[in-house]
Amino acid sequence: MVERIGDGLVRIGAMTVEQREKVLGMQNDGDERMFGEIAIDLSFIDDNAIFNFLASKGL
């Protein structure tokens, strides 16, 4: 099973569940940006969080 980025960012402690839900809600309301783009724009995460998530996946 492929882990979604939002779930992974919560797993590594970079985001809260509430923050993840906010981003997903924005996407469901029509925001077509990628999850990470929205999360960065909302200042929930920074580029390092994305790199840490990728590292946790061995990428």
Q: Please state, in angstroms and rounded to a whole number, the distance separating the CA atoms of residues 29 and 7.
A: 19
**Residue span of the structural domain in which 48 resides:** 5-56
Q: How far does CA 47 lie from the centroid of its chain?
A: 11
Instruction: State how many domains the chain has.
Output: 1
Amino acid at residue number 50: I
Q: Please state, in angstroms and rounded to a whole number, the distance separating the CA atoms of residues 13 and 1.
A: 20
56 burial class (0-12, 13-18, 19+ CB within 10 angstroms)? middle
Q: Please state, in angstroms and rounded to a whole number, the distance separating the CA atoms of residues 1 and 20.
A: 19
The stretches in the chain having pLDDT less than 50 are none
